[in-house]
Amino acid sequence: MHETDTSRPELQEILDKPIRDLGLKIEGSPLERFVQQLYKELDQKRLVKFRPACYLTDEWGCPSGEPVIGIPFYLADAKLAQLEKETNDLEDSRETMMYLRHEAGHAFNYAYKLHRTPEWKQLFGPFRRPYHDNYRPVPFSRNYVRYLAGWYAQKHPDEDFAETFAVWLTPRSAWRKRYRGWGALAKLRYMNRIARELGHTDPVRRRGVTDVTVDEMEMTVAEFYRRNGEEVALGDLALDTDLRDIFNVSKRRKRAAPAQQFLHQHRKTVVDKVAYWTGAQRPLIKQLVEMIEKRIGELKLFADPQREAEHLIQVTVYATALAMNYMARGKFVHP
């Protein structure tokens, strides 16, 4: 597993265990307060009859047509959360709530079968439109709200609704002011109206069917991370000249620090922002930034603490340019 010392006793204790044998539950775990916060926000919006059940599974999700919310199992245990942080990038409190609100939007759609109504189809599009992981968004389009990274509302009509719901649900989002003059405002007004109409109405589909639950996950923790650590083919990237230009600092300079260490400290922020503004898949961007970080170490480049902002801007813009090239042409670099 990437950058993780699996020989540490506290990790070895859980790595070889089947996930189903870890006894993970939402109740009493660090996750419980987030689920309760979601329910509190639904109450504040007067959706008193809508309480989507949450369960632990392998990733964030809401099975299509099912008003339930799947949450990654590693968020229910401190040791697993630390392992996820070291291996991938752990969701912080803000991100956890963002994902919960988004998935609650899917669940609300399915619970009341809104996607079957003519008005929903007119606003968001056909629910049965083919679903593609690799989609090409229109950056800065005002016909969609902005919530999750990567212009995610443009991925599919179902995602458009879930993103709209999440923006509407978020406390103090000031959506009327923020989206004034946008095409997306009509969707938010629809959400606000339909919530008033359905707030005290029982869902058409009150209970949903989960997909794989944590109690059914036979793979060990180590197997889970090996499966989810498959590398994306990045092709041959000639990074050396560019990286030397970005980190053109002599190692003899006073207070010069290894550039690899500098980028590692800021890696999650760089990945998050590049994925958000380009719309490229986050695993691809994560591996791109990791490759840049690794090459910086191999080249033994240094960063100047007094130029940290400059270094960070340059490496972020550089990764963004590569990602945009990939989005437009399917490759990072062209001859």
Residues 115 and 257 in one domain: no
Give the pLDDT of residue 115: 97
Indicate the pairing of strand 68-72 with strand 53-57.
parallel
Asked whether the predicted pLDDT for residue 10 surpasses 70, the reply is: no
Burial string for 23-48 (b: 16+ CB within 10 Å, else e) reads ebbbeebebeebbebbbebbeebebe
Query: Are 19 and 84 part of one and the same domain?
Result: yes
Mark whether 182 and 273 lie in a shared domain.
no
Amino acid in position 106? H
Q: Which two tokens stand for residue 66?
A: 């099912």
| Residue at token pair 């030397």 | 244
In a domain, 78, yes or no: yes
Instruction: Confirm whether 271 is domain-assigned.
Output: yes
Q: Write out the residue range of the structural domain in which residue 278 sits.
A: 240-329
Q: How confident is the model at residue 92 (pLDDT cuts 50, 70, 90)?
A: very high
For residue 187, how many other CB atoms are within 10 A of its CB?
A: 25
Query: In this structure, are 174 and 35 located in the same domain?
Result: yes
Task: Report the mean per-residue pLDDT for the chain.
Answer: 90
pLDDT confidence of 12, banded at 50, 70, 90? confident
Instruction: Report, as an integer, the average pLDDT of 154-165.
Output: 97
Are 275 and 149 members of one domain?
Answer: no
Whole-prediction pTM value?
A: 0.84
Q: Is the pLDDT of residue 13 over 90?
A: no
Which pLDDT does position 132 carry in this prediction? 78
Residue 234 falls within a domain, yes or no? no
Identify the residue with better confidence: 262 or 1.
262
Chosen domain end from 155, 181, 215: 215
Residue 135 CB contacts under 8 Å (≥ 6 apart), including other chains: 154, 155, 156, 279
Per the structure block, which two tokens stand in for 108? Answer: 């609300």
The pairing of strands 302-303 and 257-258 is antiparallel
Residue 171 is predicted with a pLDDT of 97
Q: Is 284 found in the same domain as 142?
A: no
**3-state DSSP percent of the chain in helix, strand and coil, to 5:** 55, 5, 40
Does residue 246 share a domain with residue 124? no
| pLDDT band at 142; cut points 50, 70, 90 | very high
| Strand extents, DSSP E, the chain | 53-57, 68-72, 257-258, 302-303
In the chain, the amino acid numbered 299 is L
CB 49 within 8 A of CB 202: yes
Listed range (29-38, 56-65, 104-113, 278-287) with the worst mean pLDDT: 278-287
Name the band, by pLDDT with cuts 50, 70 and 90, for residue 232.
low
Structure-block tokens of residue 104: 């609650």
Q: How many domains does the chain have?
A: 2
Backbone angles phi, psi at 333, to 5 degrees: -130, 140
Same domain, 123 and 249: no
Give the per-residue pLDDT at 294.
92
Residue 173 and residue 306 in one domain: no
218: pLDDT strictly greater than 80: yes
In a 13 Å sphere around the CA of 100, the CA atoms on its Cβ side amount to 28
- 10 Å Cβ neighbour count for 164? 25
| DSSP element (H, E) containing 260 | helix 259-278
253 vs 58, more confident:
58
Tens of pLDDT, residues 182-216 = 999 999 999 999 999 999 999 999 889 999 999 99
Percent of the chain whose predicted confidence (pLDDT) is above 70:
93
Asked if 171 and 299 sit in the same domain, the reply is no
Q: Tell me how many degrees the CA angle 196-200-205 measures, rounded to the nearest 5.
A: 105
Residue 85 has pLDDT above 90, yes or no: no
* pLDDT of residue 1 exceeding 50: no
Asked, for residue 227, whether it belongs to a domain, the answer is: no
pLDDT given at position 327: 82
Same domain, 98 and 31: yes
Residue 230: per-residue pLDDT: 52
Mean pLDDT confidence for 305-328: 91
